[in-house]
Chain A
Amino acid sequence: MSDFALSQTKETFVLNLGPQHPATHGVLRVKLEMDGEYIVHAEPILGYIHRMHEKMGENRTWAQFMPNTARLDYLGALSYNHGYALAVERAASIEVPERAEYIRVITVELNRIASHLLWFGAYVLDLGGMTPIFYAFDDREQILNLLESVTGARLTFCYFRFGGVYNDIDDSFIAGSREFIKRLRKQMPDYHNLVTKNIIMIKRLKDIGPISPEMVRKYGATGPVMRGSGINYDVRKNEPYSVYPEFDFDIPVYDECDSMARYMVRMDEIEQSMRIIEQALDKLPEGPVMTEKVPKNLKPPKGDYYSAVEAARGVFGCRVVSDGTNTAYRLKLRSPTFSNLSLFGEACQGMLLADALAFMGSLDLVIPEIDR
């Protein structure tokens, strides 16, 4: 922070970043108190697209809430489907056939790659690089085509059901996934040469936006933000769900705590997701994709259930309280980006405005998920 800003008697001015701003990727408003180009104080103001998803969960049946979960995080919709399905399956003690678990893992990981690719393109676009987003979108398009062929939708998939998945995957999907992984493996060096090693990128990201592990713990940040600060935590490893323990994959962790570390975590996660998909396609068992015993009018026994998954942006937790009826008594959705954003105010104190935007992009914000 400049000496000017440190002396309290001097005047500062207020700058509104958003609610309509290309760098906030949605309707997020950040009230910035500025000293020239330096930020003295930042306060994210939320609620512009609050849609009462949690309340909606209380007045519709368990199955009817499923489409809502895709509307929380439209870039990683399947992880959210998964989180909600797992919580309700735990509540109603529904077993999922093994093939369905594998299909879930394959589609969720494809979705994670799609989400990271979009973030990669949009992030570089935030920093002023126009070209990479076109390459990233071209690759992402392949994933969307694959997922569309099995789920029937391109963004709000709504593919999982309590006790399995909606449709079985076919041979063309399996072949297409293998083809895509081969293609992305060939593209990744290009991405690194074009963006990661680019001197402008390095100068904009290195040592910018430091988030200490203490701050991560204080605000409950998760996902790549946490792993970019040197904390090795991933729900897929630490509290394994579904069939993740069957696969051999690493959790990328970087100790630098800066924007570059968070960037690298995501780029490495793309590679790890590809490894998981490959193994899952190899091991894919035969069998049904849906249990037969799921009642149409689902009434889980009374109780309080929680389940968490590792979404593209961090831990998505879903707490359902059932009172034994066909609607939830309480549905609490713990979304990762909300916690990740809340540290923005503290972390960007004394930062240049341009750096703060580079830092905000590295948090990978999806606003509908913050507001819910």
Chain B
Amino acid sequence: MSGYYRDLFGGSWSLLVGLGITIKNMFVPIVTEQYPHFVPVMTPRFRGHIELVGDEETGEPKCVVCGMCQKACPSGCIKLAGEKPEGAKKKVVTSYILDFTRCSLCGQCVESCNFGAITFSKDYNLASTDKNDFIFDLKKRLEEKS
């Protein structure tokens, strides 16, 4: 019988203690992010989808179309093409298409690039109802940005 009363009083006390913690937390400032009103800033290392990097002076993409990123990608979501204009030393990228529907944001493309020609974007508002919105033309994006 003593176990019964111990459970009864000890148990009730444990519930009150728990309630006390909840009450204490009622006076703690809000910890959740008030999303649409306050937009989070992504950390510098945030791995978003990739983006071409433009040359500081000319604004043209740094990419030399070596194809290392294409080879490194586990999911095969990068398709790029380039040509060598007459008189130029390096190849110039003509199209750089990222199929974001298959990308798993692992970042191996950026790591494999020896020229610093691709970087992670800080975009994260990417929701869409249309699949074609996720086929990014990175060259066009770079041109629009500059």
CB-based contact B43/A148 at 8 Å: yes
User: For the complex, is A194 an interface residue (Cβ under 8 Å from B)?
Assistant: yes
Partner of A63, one of B11, B47, B104, B108: B108
Contacts of A198 on B, CB cut-off 8 Å?
Answer: 14-15, 18
Q: A148-B43, A148-B46, A150-B45 are in contact. Are A194 and B105 (CB under 8 A)?
A: no
Contacts of A63 on B, CB cut-off 8 Å?
Answer: 72, 108
A149 to chain B, nearest CB (A): 5
User: For the complex, is B81 an interface residue (Cβ under 8 Å from A)?
Assistant: no
User: For the complex, is B21 an interface residue (Cβ under 8 Å from A)?
Assistant: yes
Contacts of B12 on A, CB cut-off 8 Å?
Answer: 199
Contacts of A153 on B, CB cut-off 8 Å?
Answer: 46-47, 105
CB-based contact B21/A190 at 8 Å: yes
- With both beta carbons as reference points, the residue of chain A lying nearest to B48 in the complex is identified as A152
Q: Can you name 10 extra interface pairs (CB under 8 A) apart from A67-B106, A152-B120, A153-B46?
A: A64-B72, A64-B73, A138-B31, A141-B31, A149-B45, A158-B106, A158-B107, A190-B21, A199-B14, A200-B11
CB-based contact B43/A152 at 8 Å: yes
Q: A158-B107, A199-B10 are in contact. Are A65 and B74 (CB under 8 A)?
A: yes
User: For the complex, is A60 an interface residue (Cβ under 8 Å from B)?
Assistant: yes
Expressed in whole angstroms, the Cα–Cα distance for A213 and B71 within the complex equals: 49
Taking Cβ atoms with an 8 Å cutoff, the residues of A that contact B are 60, 63-68, 71, 131, 135, 138, 141, 148-153, 156, 158, 166-167, 190, 193-195, 197-200, 296
User: For the complex, is B123 an interface residue (Cβ under 8 Å from A)?
Assistant: no
Expressed in whole angstroms, the Cα–Cα distance for A296 and B106 within the complex equals: 16
Contacts of A199 on B, CB cut-off 8 Å?
Answer: 7, 10-12, 14-15
Taking Cβ atoms with an 8 Å cutoff, the residues of B that contact A are 7, 10-12, 14-15, 17-18, 21-22, 25, 31, 43, 45-47, 72-74, 104-108, 111-112, 120
A88 to chain B, nearest CB (A): 15
Contacts of A151 on B, CB cut-off 8 Å?
Answer: 45, 47
Expressed in whole angstroms, the Cα–Cα distance for A225 and B72 within the complex equals: 39
- With both beta carbons as reference points, the residue of chain A lying nearest to B44 in the complex is identified as A149
CB-based contact B43/A149 at 8 Å: yes
- With both beta carbons as reference points, the residue of chain A lying nearest to B28 in the complex is identified as A138
- With both beta carbons as reference points, the residue of chain B lying nearest to A67 in the complex is identified as B106
Interface SS of chain A:
helix
- Total contacts A to B, CB within 8 angstroms? 68
CB-based contact A167/B17 at 8 Å: no
Q: Which of B74, B105, B120 has the most CB of A within 10 A?
A: B74
Contacts of B73 on A, CB cut-off 8 Å?
Answer: 64
Contacts of B120 on A, CB cut-off 8 Å?
Answer: 152
Expressed in whole angstroms, the Cα–Cα distance for A67 and B77 within the complex equals: 15
CB-based contact A135/B25 at 8 Å: yes
Contacts of B105 on A, CB cut-off 8 Å?
Answer: 153, 156
Contacts of B45 on A, CB cut-off 8 Å?
Answer: 148-152, 167
Give 22 pairs: A residue, B residue, CB < 8 Å, sorted on A. Answer: A60-B74, A64-B74, A64-B108, A67-B74, A67-B106, A67-B108, A68-B74, A141-B31, A148-B46, A150-B45, A152-B45, A152-B47, A156-B105, A166-B107, A190-B21, A193-B14, A197-B14, A198-B14, A199-B7, A199-B10, A199-B14, A200-B15
Contacts of B18 on A, CB cut-off 8 Å?
Answer: 193-195, 198
Expressed in whole angstroms, the Cα–Cα distance for A255 and B59 within the complex equals: 67
Expressed in whole angstroms, the Cα–Cα distance for A24 and B15 within the complex equals: 27
CB-based contact A152/B22 at 8 Å: no
- With both beta carbons as reference points, the residue of chain B lying nearest to A167 in the complex is identified as B45
Contacts of A149 on B, CB cut-off 8 Å?
Answer: 43, 45
B27 to chain A, nearest CB (A): 14
Expressed in whole angstroms, the Cα–Cα distance for A153 and B45 within the complex equals: 8
- With both beta carbons as reference points, the residue of chain B lying nearest to A154 in the complex is identified as B46
Expressed in whole angstroms, the Cα–Cα distance for A68 and B107 within the complex equals: 13
CB-based contact A193/B72 at 8 Å: no
B94 to chain A, nearest CB (A): 26
- With both beta carbons as reference points, the residue of chain A lying nearest to B106 in the complex is identified as A67
Q: A64-B74, A149-B45, A194-B21 are in contact. Are A156 and B104 (CB under 8 A)?
A: yes
